Amino acid sequence: MNTYLTIITTVLVLTQIIRITQNYISLRRQNVLYKKQLEELADLEISKEDFEYQRKAYRLIVEKLEGEILAPIGEWKNE
C-alpha cells in the first residue's frame, strides 16, 4: 500500500511541476509579446492634432446621423 501511495504522490507532484512549467512558458511568451506591442505603441507619436481630428470626425458623424434620423420624422409630420 505504501508503494502505491508513493507512486501516486510522485505522479501528482510531477504533474504539478509540468503544469507550473507550462504556465511559466506561456506567461513568458505573453510578456514578450506585450512588451513588443507596447514598444510599437510608444513609437507612434500621438499628438493633440490627432485628437482634434478625431473629435471633428465624431461631430460630423453625429450631425450626419442625426440628419438622416430626424429628416424622415420631419417629412412624416408635414404630410
pLDDT exceeds cutoff 90 at 16? yes
Residue boundaries of the structural domains of the chain? 1-44, 46-79
Question: Which pLDDT belongs to residue 48?
Answer: 82
Q: What is the pLDDT of residue 57?
A: 96
Q: Please, what is the end-to-end C-alpha distance for the chain in angstroms?
A: 92
Rounded distance between C-alpha atoms, residue 64 and residue 56, angstroms: 12
How confident is the model over 30-78, as pLDDT tens digits?
A: 999 999 988 877 767 777 888 899 999 999 999 988 887 776 666 665 5
Backbone phi, psi, residue 41, to 5°? -70, -35
Work out the angle at residue 65's Cα, subtended by the Cα atoms of residues 60 and 66, and round it to the nearest 5 degrees: 100
Q: How many CA atoms lie within 13 A of 36 on its CB side?
A: 6
Model pLDDT, residue 68: 79
* pLDDT in the model for residue 73: 65
Global pTM? 0.49
Task: Look at residue 50 in the predicted model and tell me its pLDDT.
Answer: 86
Can you tell me which residue has the cell 504533474? 15
Cα 12 from chain centre = 35
